[in-house]
Amino acid sequence: MFGAALVKIAFASSILSTVLYFVVHRNPSDTVKKIARLFYELTVAGLVTASAILLYFILTHQFQYYYVWNYSSTDLPLSLLISTFYAGQEGSFMLWSLYTGVIGLVLLRYTAKRGYEPEFMAVFSAILSFLILMLVVKNPFKPIWEQFSTELLHVGAVPVGTTNFIWVDQARGLWAQVPLEGKGLNALLQNYWMVIHPQILFIGFTSMSIPFAYAVAGMLKKDYVSWIRVATPWTAFGSMMLGTGIILGGYWAYETLGWGGYWGWDPVENSSLVPWLVCVASIHTMLAQRKNGTYIKTNFVLSMFCFILVLYSTFLTRSGVLGETSVHSFVDPGMWVYWLLLIVIGLFAALGFGLLFSRWKEMPVVPVQHTLVSREFALFLGASSLVFASIFILIGTSSPIITNIIKGKISAVDPSFYITTTLPLGVAIALLSGLGQLLWWQNSKTNDLLKQLMMPAALAATFTVGTFIMGATHVAMIVFIFASAFALCTNVIVGWKIVRGNPKMAGGSIAHVGIALMFLGFVASAKYDDVKTLNLEQGKSVQALGYTMTYVGYQPLERGRFGFNVEVEKDGQKFVVTPVMFKENDEGSLIRNPDIVNMITKDFYVSPLSLESAGASDHDQEIMLLKGKTETYEGMQLTYLGYNFTQTKEKGNYLVMDIEVLYNGMKELVHPTMSNKGGKPTFTEAQLQNSEIALVIKGMNPSKEEGEATVTLEVTGIHGQKKLSAPKAETLVVEASVKPYINLVWIGTVLLIGGFLITIVRRIQETLKK
């Protein structure tokens, strides 16, 4: 209850801070500013303490709290136990608020130095109060007996020997049982990616609110130009963090979830990609504005959309609107969250765009000075391509909502939608990211441009021809390969010159080299991968995809997991991969984790599908026949004609089946029997002539009704030999695939992040100069 109270205090104080900062904006006053700052710091202190309390409850297994009970358990290792902090909605809003609050402390000092504190902090603190409001509604400190009052709440004396209870109201004799164990963390989430990925993603979400706050602050201050300078490092920071979070999620999916790829165009992935694309677009238009003052309104719009889209993505993934259209299962959080999120989106959008329209006329109009052959225009086109890509992805992801409105029925788009729509934009982005580096500001001489184009274009063309010879097909892919190769060559050439001159300026080129490599990696690993399903009998070598694979057996791993060892050999090199399968719990959901051989030019990816134990289970060999209807089974055509029932002293109840069998072109009538004497049933098998096959009755429904009478037969080898065919060894079924040049994706990512880092450092230094 103390935790919940802290959250409420933090909420109140963040609202106060917002109001006071706004007052300072209207009537500058150092005293009020100090108080506003104090309230902001109080908010953060409240959040930090509340988070520490929640973490403490988790670490000490205080299952009297619903959240702790719902997501953690005593058997989790420490790192995963900590990660249960944000495994559910309540906790992830807690983490989000915490990071927003703490980053706000940094921003407070940053903006104070640059004369932006009151306006920026007023908006930022408003955003923080919305996040805390979510925590007030979805309280992570809810006692478990509020959730399960019928099961856990009792009145009267506590039975002797009961130790796990808490007095809720001792005066009224009200007490509650406390669970001894928690429900635990979803098995799919139980790996180290759970420790790192959500944290970075939430820092990314947090930082998307920064451009919004700057844009609104700029409009409040009627500063339509220099806010860009202050905001740019943070926009780059946001792109870096959110981008890292997204790609880590992709790597998680690839490396442990066994989806076979790093990107599935799932709503959860898409909804963080959309704000990222817009944020990256805004970096480019901000650059153009810094240079010659254009795109003022565009920058306000894009910066505000970064945050609006994060809110919308939260709405999509948290409110339950996507229903069953995604592989992520969403919990319906109740109408409160649904409406609260909608209202908040409306409020922030109204605030931002209302202000924009009221200031529209005031904003300076800078006459366009650049020609169509200029860097500004390339930046504009590049940003437009990014924005269009984000719009398409947004529409696709929202399709359950759109179709619900238009047709009244919910449906999602096929993943091919995203590829069809974004591929042309990807080509444009790649070409422009190369071209933009060659163009001058304002105007380029066509001759100069052509001269500079020669080299990278020729290299890219050679490279493309090379991939074509190596087997690249599909015109669209070849165009995309050429565009990406062009982007790569240009940026390497230009980047190299910059690095030798002033490395601080090389952020853009390095990031573009990264993007180009990623594009090439996407094509190679996703379009030209090679997939095969294989049955690996234990001890028997199987050749596929140029590899020799041998399943050698399994061993138990920690926490009820099993590792299946497969020896992989290629050109004398030997590896052992150990994909993992395990049952999540008694209900028996099977979790599969792939294993990967990482090589320089490719990944060999082994994803387990199932383990067929030696000798198939009995169940597989049973067939149910409806009277008069012919069924096919293992090459036999079986028809249940009827049965004959007799009752005699010697044999007891005696039942003879008439089954017509067509097998190997021969038709015959066979009679498996069932007798019951003294309550003990015996079954006699009926053998098929000239075969090793026998039929045994397993069960029947002797109904007289047409269409109800059935018999269930077991088809076995004669004399109870279980198998029809020769007994098989234990068989591991895997999906093996070769993902060529997937390392390009990861190398590209690292370069992209590095590029952002260099840009951030450079832009921060610039804000201090004047």
Partner 1 sequence: MNLKVIVASIIIVGALIFGASTFMESNIEYMDFEMAQTVNKKVQVKGRWVKEKESNFDATTSQFTFYMVDDNNQEVKVVLDGAKPNNFEIATEVVAKGRFKDGYFHANELLTKCPSKYEGDGEAVKKTL
Closest approach, Cβ 370 to partner 1, in A, equals 12
Closest approach, Cβ 16 to partner 1, in A, equals 35
Name the helix (H) or strand (E) containing 363.
none
Nearest to 377 by CA among 288, 509, 297: 288
Closest approach, Cβ 696 to partner 1, in A, equals 17
Closest approach, Cβ 123 to partner 1, in A, equals 31
What is the b/e burial string over 402-415, where b = at least 16 CB atoms within 10 angstroms of the residue's CB? ebeeeeeebebbee
Count other C-beta atoms under 10 Å from residue 167's C-beta: 12
Contact 311, 341 (CB under 8 A): yes
49 versus 147: smaller Cβ distance to partner 1: 147
323 phi-psi bin (left φ>0, alpha ψ -120 to 50, beta other):
left
The count of residues in the chain is 770
Per-residue DSSP letter, 297: H
Nearest to 455 by CA among 496, 498, 486, 499: 486
**Helix axis angle, 267-292 to 193-220, nearest 10°:** 40
Closest approach, Cβ 556 to partner 1, in A, equals 20
Contact 550, 566 (CB under 8 A): yes
Contact 141, 67 (CB under 8 A): yes
Closest approach, Cβ 590 to partner 1, in A, equals 7
189 versus 498: smaller Cβ distance to partner 1: 189
164 versus 703: smaller Cβ distance to partner 1: 164
61 versus 512: smaller Cβ distance to partner 1: 61
25 versus 370: smaller Cβ distance to partner 1: 370
Binding interface with partner 1 (CB under 8 A): 63, 66, 69-71, 88, 144, 147-148, 150-152, 164, 177, 179-183, 186, 188, 324-327, 329, 331-332, 388, 391-392, 395-396, 399, 403, 409-414, 416-417, 420-421, 533, 535, 587-592, 609-610, 612, 619-620, 622-624, 731, 733, 735
Closest approach, Cβ 173 to partner 1, in A, equals 20
88 versus 245: smaller Cβ distance to partner 1: 88
Separation between Cα atoms, residue 621 and residue 432, nearest integer Å: 61
182 versus 514: smaller Cβ distance to partner 1: 182
Closest approach, Cβ 700 to partner 1, in A, equals 15
Count other C-beta atoms under 10 Å from residue 75's C-beta: 13
63 versus 120: smaller Cβ distance to partner 1: 63
41 versus 631: smaller Cβ distance to partner 1: 631
Closest approach, Cβ 172 to partner 1, in A, equals 22
Separation between Cα atoms, residue 427 and residue 519, nearest integer Å: 9
147 versus 292: smaller Cβ distance to partner 1: 147
Closest approach, Cβ 124 to partner 1, in A, equals 32
27 versus 416: smaller Cβ distance to partner 1: 416
54 versus 103: smaller Cβ distance to partner 1: 54
Closest approach, Cβ 137 to partner 1, in A, equals 16
Three-state SS sequence of 660-700: EEEECCEEEEECCEEEEECCEEEEECEECCCCCEEEEEEEE
Separation between Cα atoms, residue 111 and residue 77, nearest integer Å: 41
Closest approach, Cβ 746 to partner 1, in A, equals 26
Closest approach, Cβ 180 to partner 1, in A, equals 6
Contact 680, 660 (CB under 8 A): no
Dihedral angle at the C-alpha atoms of 492, 495, 500, 505, nearest 10 degrees?
-160
Closest approach, Cβ 116 to partner 1, in A, equals 34
Encoding tokens for residue 488? 């790569």
Instruction: Indicate if the alpha-carbon torsion angle 131, 132, 137, 141 is positive or negative.
Output: positive
Residue 357 φ/ψ, nearest 5 degrees:
-70, -35
Per-residue DSSP letter, 162: -
Going by DSSP bridges, is the β-strand pair 666-670/652-663 parallel, antiparallel, or unpaired?
antiparallel
Separation between Cα atoms, residue 22 and residue 130, nearest integer Å: 16
91 versus 456: smaller Cβ distance to partner 1: 91
Separation between Cα atoms, residue 688 and residue 664, nearest integer Å: 11
How far from the centroid of its chain's Cα atoms is residue 129's Cα? 27
Helices (H), 171-266: 193-220, 227-252
20 versus 301: smaller Cβ distance to partner 1: 301
Separation between Cα atoms, residue 736 and residue 164, nearest integer Å: 50
How deeply is 100 buried, as exposed, middle or buried, from its count of CB atoms within 10 A (0-12, 13-18, 19+)? buried
Closest approach, Cβ 603 to partner 1, in A, equals 20
118 versus 261: smaller Cβ distance to partner 1: 261
